[in-house]
Amino acid sequence: MTPLVHFDEVCVEYDAGREKTLALQPTTLEVAKGDFIALVGPSGCGKSTILKLASELLAPTAGHIFFAGRELGAEPVRVGMAFQSASLLPWLSIRDNVMLPLKIVPPFREHYRAKRKGEYRDRVDALLAQVGLLDFADKNPWQLSGGMQQRANLCRALVHDPDLLLLDEPFGALDQFTREELWSTLQDLWMARGSTVLLVTHDLREAAFLANRICVMSARPGRIIEDRQVTTPRPRQISQTFRPEFVSIVEQLRELIVHAPAAPQIPEAAQ
Ligand SMILES: Nc1ncnc2c1ncn2[C@@H]1O[C@H](COP(=O)(O)OP(=O)(O)OP(=O)(O)O)[C@@H](O)[C@H]1O
């Protein structure tokens, strides 16, 4: 079956004038529709670079990226994104923050004026209810805790049913208990919506709890050195992450990352 996203021998070299940084060695990755993939690896190995490629913020230096069998860029791909900082607009209510993609992203924006008061508002409120935020819909972001802001941020990333949900350390700034709550929220949203997710994280327990596949990357210039399935049935419980079989997955990932040699550099002439 054609993968939803296919990175085919993709290479990235950042070129800042005289200084060039090879961030990604030829990397191949196939993402099926509905996959939940976690990208883990040492700092600077190119995890965020993969998200930038998937969101078309960055073009590969070499290789190709396909979406549903066609070269990325041939057709618009709807992407939802969330980062470590929730970056909600402080002057808008939570409801209006979550509504934003429906105002901006085609084809929703064409119907925005007609549907805002009815259908779109119901859609936003249903999502807010699903993550326990409906009572806070009229509040401004600064009236919510960091964890609540990240819940709203996830809603904003999902409200327009993106083809791809790209998450770059979305829970990195939260305390452990709030983070675990948000893992369960994200798992529930993913199970309900069947989204296709690429998650960058440094937290191996988070990767193992949330993902179906964990792609481990080598130190920069990065490449995928292990593509590991996590078959634990859903819904997963936080308490399971303290059980021996789960702890063992996390330990194996950690060993891989700590001991993985940096990928051999490709000689410039061969690039
Ligand atoms: N715009 C840029 N210009 C030059 N070099 C860059 C640029 N963006 C990233 N890099 C370099 O490319 C490499 C990969 O960066 P990237 O942000 O993808 O890594 P990462 O694995 O997400 O890192 P971290 O885990 O620390 O967030 C790093 O060495 C980084 O310094």
> Which atom of ligand 1 is nearest to 45's Cα?
21
Q: Which residue owns the Cα nearest ligand 1 atom 6? A: 14
Single-letter amino acid, residue 44: G
User: How far is Cα 179 from Cα 128, in angstroms, rounded to an integer?
Assistant: 18
Closest Cα to atom 12, ligand 1: which residue?
A: 23
Pairing of strands 197-200, 36-40: parallel
Distance 49 CA to ligand 1 centre (A): 7
- Atom from ligand 1 closest to the CA of residue 169: 27
Q: In the prediction, which pLDDT does 60 show?
A: 97
Strand pairing report for 70-71 and 79-83: unpaired
pLDDT given at position 270: 47
CATH number at residue 245: 3.40.50.300
Has residue 135 been placed in a domain?
no
Secondary structure percentages of the chain, helix, strand, coil, to 5: 40, 25, 35
Asked whether residue 45 is domain-assigned, the answer is yes
- Determine, yes or no, domain membership for 214: yes
pLDDT at 271: 46
| Ligand 1 proximal residues by C-beta, below 6 Å | 14, 16, 21, 23, 43-49, 220
Alpha-carbon distance of 35 to 47, in angstroms, equals 17
Q: How close is the Cα of 23 to the center of ligand 1, in Å? A: 7
Distance from the alpha carbon of residue 44 to the mean position of ligand 1, in angstroms: 5
Query: Tens-digit pLDDT profile for the chain (271 aa)?
Result: 889 999 999 999 999 888 899 999 999 999 999 999 999 999 999 999 999 999 999 999 999 999 999 999 998 999 999 999 999 999 999 999 999 999 999 889 888 878 777 899 999 999 999 999 999 999 999 999 999 999 999 999 999 999 999 999 999 999 999 999 999 999 999 999 999 999 999 999 999 999 999 999 999 999 999 999 999 999 999 999 999 999 999 999 999 999 876 656 555 544 4
Q: What is the distance between the alpha carbons of residues 217 and 69, in angstroms, rounded to a whole number?
A: 25
Q: Is residue 108 part of a domain?
A: no
Structural domain contains residue 271: no
Q: For a substitution probing ligand 1, which of 21, 24, 27, 83 has the most ligand atoms within 8 Å of its CB?
A: 21
- Structural domain includes residue 124: no
Crossing angle for the helix pair 121-130 and 146-158, nearest 10 degrees?
Answer: 130
The CA 4 to ligand 1 mean position distance, Å, reads 25
Q: Examine residue 187 and state whether it is found in any structural domain, yes or no.
A: no
Whole domain around residue 56: which residue ranges?
Answer: 1-77+200-264
d(C-alpha 166, C-alpha 59), whole Å: 16
Distances (CA, A) of 197 to 61, 89, 92: 24, 24, 27
Count the alpha carbons within 13 Å of 182 in the hemisphere toward its beta carbon: 27
- Ligand 1 atom 17: the closest Cα is on which residue? 48
* pLDDT computed for residue 17 by the predictor: 82
Quick one: CA torsion of 174, 186, 101, 68, rounded to 10 degrees?
130
What pTM did the predictor assign?
A: 0.94
Ligand 1 mean position to 45 CA, how many Å? 7
What is the structure's pLDDT at 150?
A: 96
| DSSP secondary structure letter of residue 262 | P
Task: For ligand 1, pick from 10, 15, 48 the residue to mutate: most ligand atoms within 8 Å of CB.
Answer: 48
| Inside any domain, residue 54 | yes
State the total domains in the chain. 1
Q: Please give the structure tokens belonging to residue 222.
A: 């990065």
